[in-house]
Amino acid sequence: TPSRNDALVWMARTLIDQDELSESAGLINTLQYDPNLPLRLRDDLDEVNAYWFYKQNIFDSAAAHLQKSLSNAESKQDRARSEFLLAQLYELTNQFDKASLYYSKVSAHTTAPLMDIYARLNNAKMMKGSNPLELNNSINKLVKMAKKDKFETFKDILFYSAGELSLQKKDTLAAISYFAKSFQFNQTNLPLKNKATLQLADIAYNQKQYKKAYAYYDSLQLADTSLADRLANIKTKKSALVKIVEKIIIVEREDSAIRKISTTLVLKENESGFELI
C-alpha cells in the first residue's frame, strides 16, 4: 500500500538520527531502485539521502541531493530554509558561485528578516574581497535595510555586518563607524555587543591607540561564553596594556606640565642679547 513507502522513508530518516547509517543506506538503496516508488516520494527520498551524506560530512553529495528535493518545500519560507542550507553546503565545498546563487534566492523567498540579513551578508562574503565595487554595493544594501522599519530591531546586526565587510575591503575608518553604530543600537544582544567592542579594541590596538584599546578591552563582559576562544588573549593584552597606559599617562602629565611652564617663559631682547623672563 502507499503508506508502506512513506513508512520506509521515515524509517530511513530515523535510522540516520540513531547513527545506524549502514541500515539506513540499505533502505535508501532499496527505495531508489524500487520501480513502484511513487513519484511524490522522490523528493522525500532525495531529502533523506542528502541528510545521510550530511551526517558523514560528504557535503558535495549532500548538496546534490538537497538541490533535487527543493520542490518538496511546503511554503516559500520552508524553501528559503532549504536554500540557505544548500548555499552553506556549496560554500563548504568551495563552490562559491553556486553558494552566491542560492543565498540570493533566499533573500527573494524568505519572509524572515533575520534570514534575509544573513543571506545577504554570507552572499557578500562569497566575493572573497576580490571586487570592492560589489562589496560597496553589499554594504550600501545593509545600511539601507537598517533604515527600514521592518529591520528596526536588527540594526545592531546590520551595522555589525557592514563593519565586517568594510574590514574586508580594508576601510578601517568606515568599519569603526559601523561597529560603533552596532554597539549604539544594541539593546539586548550581549554576544554581538561584545563582538563589536572586540573589533573596535583590536582596531585601536593595531593602530597603537593603546589607551582607547585598553578602554574597549576593559569594557568587555568576560562572562560571555562567546569570548571563550579569545579569553586568554584578551587577558594577556589587558595586562600588558595596563602597564603601557600607566606610562602614557605619566608622559602626558609631564608633557602637560612642561607646556604650562613653557607658556610662562618669554625671551626679552636687551642690550646684551636675549634674556629669559
Q: Cell for 128?
A: 572573497
pTM of the predicted model as reported, rounded to 2 decimal places: 0.70
- Rounded to whole angstroms, the Cα distance separating 30 from 53 reads 17
Q: Which residues pair with 270 in a beta bridge?
A: 273
pLDDT score at 265: 46
Q: How far apart (Å, rounded) are the C-alpha atoms in residues 22 and 214?
A: 55
Task: Give residue 100's identity as a one-letter amino acid code.
Answer: S
Per the CB < 8 A criterion, the answer to whether 93 and 134 are in contact is no
Residue 38, SS3 per DSSP:
coil
Residue 197's CB is within 10 A of a number of other CB atoms, namely 23
Which one-letter DSSP state was computed for residue 133? H
Confidence at residue 266, expressed as pLDDT on a 0 to 100 scale: 44
Distances (CA, A) of 223 to 64, 199, 219, 231, 242: 42, 18, 12, 10, 20
Q: What is the pLDDT of residue 267?
A: 42
Taking the mean position of all CA atoms in its chain, how far away is CA 141?
Answer: 16
pLDDT per 10-residue tile (average), the chain, 277 residues: 83 94 92 86 93 95 94 91 96 92 92 88 70 81 87 91 90 95 93 95 94 93 89 91 90 73 50 49
Give CA–CA dist 145/147, Å, rounded.
5
